[in-house]
Amino acid sequence: MYVHRPATLAAEPAVVVALHGCTQSAQLYADNAGLVKFADQYGFLLVFPEQTSANNSSKCFNWFQPGDTRRGQGEAASIRQMVAHAAAAYGTDPERVHVTGLSAGGAMTSVMLATYPDVFTAGAVVAGLPYDCADDVLSAYGCMSPGVDRTPSAWAQDVRDAHPGYAGPWPRVAIWQGDNDPTVAKKNADELRDQWTAVHGLDQSPDRTSAIGPNSTRREQYLSADGATAVEVDRVPSIAHGTPVDPGTGAQQCGATGTAHFIDSICSSYWITGFFGLDGADPDPGGLPAPGGLARTGATDTSVTLNWNSVSGAASYAVYRDGARIATPTGPPFTDTGLSPGGSHTYSVAARDASGAEGARSAQVTAATTGSAAKCWTANNYQHVQSGRATTSGGYVYAKGSHQNMGLYNTAVTHTLKESPAGHYVIADGTCP
């Protein structure tokens, strides 16, 4: 256990436990991740657990070993003891204990949130994994890539089983994931979201979206009944596996590059500090309300026209097709062009203020273009790959476009794929005409 104590430590300070990634050390993580800047600025305590090569030859936290991932056992219990020691030695506030980490440290963050929800107020998982995704080294690699697909309720039950009888409150969770991560598949961000939204009793459709930072990281927020952000997902464009940093002296800048797995993009530690509520600002300032009345008002073979009720204070709007933002018109109506005939899409709209911050998204509406219906093919997984409708990775097959997991790459698994729009395939077993 290493500690960074700011020169000016707040009275009854908050504590952030920061867990390094594989091959890293506590010092390396402290020097590069950017958390130290904000601890010094806001007066909270940083605790840096350090894995040893005696426990793991690559200095990874053993997030996949049952003896280290259960309440009261192994590494999980050791980290919990570090929090207790910090409270005794530095008088930290037991109501403001947080945890974050990268990769194996991110996966261990999930472990701590699940096994000690009565200790941790919030956590931030950076390029990490859902809790109880693996129970040995072999399954750990499969969890990392291509990922494990479970229902939200199954993932949530794994968390509840980590501390039987505990009924809440549950930690708030931020999930950070690079779009081009070759080590921890970006599917894991969705599975983490599914796990923690279900724990909080929420659905998996974001209530509010926005773009943050210098590289327009895509933020999705899932709100509890009181309007606070219970879960958020921050998807960082065009980065591989590592901690997002943005070296510099600006208010939203932090960290250092030049060492593996610290990537120049956005200062994630700035946003994580804010998510934890440690920057003195309102951690959930709200935003513009969701537009009402979204409806399809026209369609052709290649376009869909949408209309909605204007929102007071909105400078523009963000239009989402199938979950991806496609345009930011100044107001309704809006026509989405360049579509394929006979295609069906789901739309939602969010109002944007003058700074570009988005409010809550509207209810979704499904709209179809006119023209011929989508094409369907039924074949085994091998044939789908050979015909260019799917790809293979790690022994599994994924539908092109939707990237849905179709199962093992062999002739024994058969699926029906629907193509809509051209080049985009989705599994349509038993539903495709």
Lowest-pLDDT range, 6-10, 175-179, 370-374?
370-374
Encode pLDDT of 407-423 as tens digits. Answer: 999 999 999 998 877 78
Encode pLDDT of 43-56 as tens digits. Answer: 999 999 999 999 99
Residue 117 neighbours by CB under 8 Å, 6+ apart: 159, 163, 166, 168, 169, 170, 171
pTM above 0.75, yes or no: no
Q: Answer yes or no: is pLDDT of 372 > 80.
A: no
Encode pLDDT of 236-293 as tens digits. Answer: 999 999 999 999 999 899 999 999 999 999 999 999 999 999 987 655 545 788 898 9
Evaluate whether 416 touches 427 at the Cβ level (below 8 Å): yes
Encode pLDDT of 219-236 as tens digits. Answer: 999 988 777 899 999 999
pLDDT at 321: 87
Lowest-pLDDT range, 86-95, 109-118, 417-426?
417-426
CA atoms of 265 and 244, how far apart (whole Å): 6
Alpha helices in 56-145 (DSSP H): 74-90, 104-115, 137-144
pLDDT at 356: 81
pLDDT at 284: 52
Q: What is the DSSP code string of 312-333? A: TT-SEEEEEETTEEEE--SSS-
Catalytic residues, by residue number, are: 103
Element (H, E) at 233: strand 229-236
- Domain segments of the chain: what residues? 2-275, 312-368, 375-427
- The CATH fold of domain 312-368: Immunoglobulin-like (2.60.40)
Would you state the torsion angle of the CA atoms of residues 325, 227, 194, 244, taken in this order, to the nearest 10 degrees?
60
pLDDT at 23: 97
Among residues 149, 152, 159, 222, which one has the least CA distance to residue 188? 149
pLDDT at 301: 86
Strand partners, 79: none
- The CATH fold of domain 2-275: Rossmann fold (3.40.50)
Hey, what amino acid is at 69?
T
When pLDDT is averaged across residues 394-405 and rounded to a whole number, the result is 92
Angle, to 10 degrees, between the axis of helix 152-162 and the axis of helix 104-115? 70
When pLDDT is averaged across residues 166-173 and rounded to a whole number, the result is 94
Greatest C-alpha distance within the chain: 71
Evaluate whether 9 touches 90 at the Cβ level (below 8 Å): yes
pLDDT at 422: 74
pLDDT at 344: 84
Q: Answer yes or no: is pLDDT of 135 > 60.
A: yes
Hey, what amino acid is at 58?
S
Evaluate whether 170 touches 200 at the Cβ level (below 8 Å): yes
pLDDT at 286: 57
37 vs 364 pLDDT, higher one? 37
Q: Answer yes or no: is pLDDT of 399 > 90.
A: yes
Residue listed under structure tokens 């980590």: 162
pLDDT at 360: 77
pLDDT at 281: 62
pLDDT at 433: 64
Q: Answer yes or no: is pLDDT of 324 > 80.
A: no
The angle at the Cα of 104, spanning 102 to 107, to the nearest 5 degrees, equals: 85
Average pLDDT of the chain to the nearest whole number: 92
pLDDT at 244: 97
CA atoms of 312 and 319, how far apart (whole Å): 17
pLDDT at 110: 98
pLDDT at 207: 87
CA atoms of 417 and 431, how far apart (whole Å): 10
End-to-end CA distance of the chain: 61
Alpha helices in 200-312 (DSSP H): 268-275
Evaluate whether 120 touches 166 at the Cβ level (below 8 Å): no
Q: pLDDT band at 325, cuts 50/70/90?
A: confident
pLDDT at 208: 87
DSSP 68: G
